[in-house]
Amino acid sequence: MEVSPSLGLVSSLTLLPLVIFLVHVYCTVVLRSERIKRKLRMQGIQGPPPSFLYGNLPEMQKIQLKTLKASGFQAADFIAHDYTSSVFPYFEQWRKEYGSIYTYSTGLRQHLYVNQPELVKEMNQMVSLDLGKPSYLTKRMSPLLGNGIVRSNGLFWAQQRKIVAPEFYMDKVKGMVGLMVESAQPLLKKWEDCIEAQGGIVADVKVDEDLRELSADVISRACFGSSYSKGKQIFSKLRSLQQTFSGQNILFGVPNFGFLPAKKHNKISNLEREVESLIWEAVKERQQECRETSSSEKDLMLLLLEGAVNDQSLGKDASKSFVVDNCKTIYFAGHESTAVAASWCLMLLALHPEWQDGIRKEQAEVFKDGLAICGFTQSSENGDNGDSRSPSSLPTSSICIKRST
């Protein structure tokens, strides 16, 4: 049986795109990873040998399961400050085997583990714009963070920081203390009612979700002022977006070359569009409200918009994207992390009743009216506190907050 030359040519041309794609993947993914490992080995940096495609993921799972079985871990009874050896036992094992600096891989991505404080400090002090966030993380996080200050790199990051940073200076944050108190008072009343309903002495209160709602409420009031109810609607959508993303493990998942199931991808895209539309509507409504009432009070989003508009390098469309993306950033940077830190702080207080006694004593001495609304001021030039209610007058409270964060 003879095969015509034309048929063979058609078959070859059909397979050519597939061959080109495979070669491209091999060169950009496999060879790149090997080049990085070779450069690190030349500097004396070793690490656990990876498997093809999956890297050190199988070994990481094996070490974690072995550690859980050996320790008889029970989640309900587990409280430890040395979380790294329990949550990430593979890092601790490799540190003992390969030293304080070693390399490992998750899938086809190469990572460098550094456990030398002085070296980490030196790296953090570098100001080169060539350094930045890894591209594989920033691309995946685009629907969550847009191209805000947390996700951007280089000159665009520096430009955004110049506009955003002044809005979080201490004198600006002091002006938000009243908003925090307004949000916290209903929560305290809710907890008091819960305690009364359970006998008035001891009660079981699930604080996690309450603290998330408190954090979102404070951010909504700060970002959108009188339109904070719309802000809470926005954050509800952002929460849904976050939960949709939580199904995929960005750092340690099996390599999927950035592809998502069509249904999940469509859901993420729809939520992203809804969030962006709601944020911009809220900003425009606040603009209109300020014009009609001639109000000089401006919330965080209006101040960011004003800073972006006044920046000569940003156009109208860029200003809109800047505000929307950084609103997402403020939510994800401040919402979950603040709620978790507050939960951890309450847990530390429960573990150390003597801390509670010290904090109550401080509060009674400093806030004699029982309402902790204050504007902390910095020490004056002669070393005296400008305000008797400065952080230095609350040493136990300050220590507890530091330890929880």
Q: Are 86 and 185 within one domain?
A: no
Reply yes or no on whether the pLDDT at 95 is more than 80.
yes
CATH number of the domain that 160 lies in? Answer: 1.10.630.10
pLDDT at 53: 77
Is 238 within the bounds of a domain?
yes
What pTM does this model have? Answer: 0.70
Q: Are 366 and 340 within one domain?
A: no
Reply yes or no on whether the pLDDT at 98 is more than 90.
yes
In three state form, how does the secondary structure of the chain look? CCCCHHHHHHHHHHHHHHHHHHHHHHHHHHHHHHHHHHHHHHCCCCCCCCECCCECHHHHHHHHHHHHHHHCCCHHHCCCCCCHHHHCHHHHHHHHHHCCEEEEEECCEEEEEECCHHHHHHHHCCCCCCCCCCHHHHHHCHHHHCCCCCCCCHHHHHHHHHHHHHHHCHHHHHCCHHHHHHHHHHHHHHHHHHHHHCCCCCCCCCCHHHHHHHHHHHHHHHHHHHHHHHHHHHHHHHHHHHHHHCCCCCCCCCCCCCCCCHHHHHHHHHHHHHHHHHHHHHHHHHHHHHHHHCCCCCCHHHHHHHHHHHCCCCCHHHHHHHHHHHHHHHHHHHHHHHHHHHHHHHHHHHHCHHHHHHHHHHHHHHCCCCCCCCCCCCECCCCCECCCCCHHHCHHHHHHHHHHC
The residue from 126, 141, 170 where one domain ends is 126
Q: Are 41 and 118 within one domain?
A: yes
Is 77 within the bounds of a domain?
yes
Is 308 within the bounds of a domain?
yes
Count of domains for the chain: 3
The predicted-structure confidence for 141-162, as pLDDT tens digits, reads as follows 777 788 888 888 888 888 888 8
Mean pLDDT estimate for the chain: 77
Q: Are 398 and 382 within one domain?
A: yes
Q: Are 359 and 334 within one domain?
A: no
Residue with tokens 């304080």: 100
Reply yes or no on whether the pLDDT at 104 is more than 90.
yes
Is 113 within the bounds of a domain?
yes
The predicted-structure confidence for 258-285, as pLDDT tens digits, reads as follows 555 677 778 888 888 888 888 888 888 7
Is 276 within the bounds of a domain?
yes
Q: Are 299 and 367 within one domain?
A: no
Q: What is the arithmetic mean of pLDDT over 204-226?
A: 83
The residue from 110, 126, 142 where one domain ends is 126
Q: Quickly count: other Cβ atoms within 10 Å of residue 74's Cβ.
A: 8
Structural domain of 338: 155-350
Q: Are 101 and 222 within one domain?
A: no
The residue from 126, 145, 173 where one domain ends is 126
Residue percentage of the chain with pLDDT more than 90: 9
Is 342 within the bounds of a domain?
yes
Q: Are 224 and 269 within one domain?
A: yes
Is 377 within the bounds of a domain?
yes
The predicted-structure confidence for 68-79, as pLDDT tens digits, reads as follows 787 665 554 556
The predicted-structure confidence for 285-336, as pLDDT tens digits, reads as follows 777 777 776 666 677 877 887 787 777 666 666 778 888 888 888 887 777 7
Q: Are 198 and 341 within one domain?
A: yes
Residue percentage of the chain with pLDDT more than 70: 77
Q: Are 340 and 374 within one domain?
A: no
Q: Are 167 and 114 within one domain?
A: no
Contacts of 143 (CB under 8 A, 6+ apart): 241, 245, 268, 269, 271, 272
Q: Are 224 and 366 within one domain?
A: no
Is 389 within the bounds of a domain?
yes
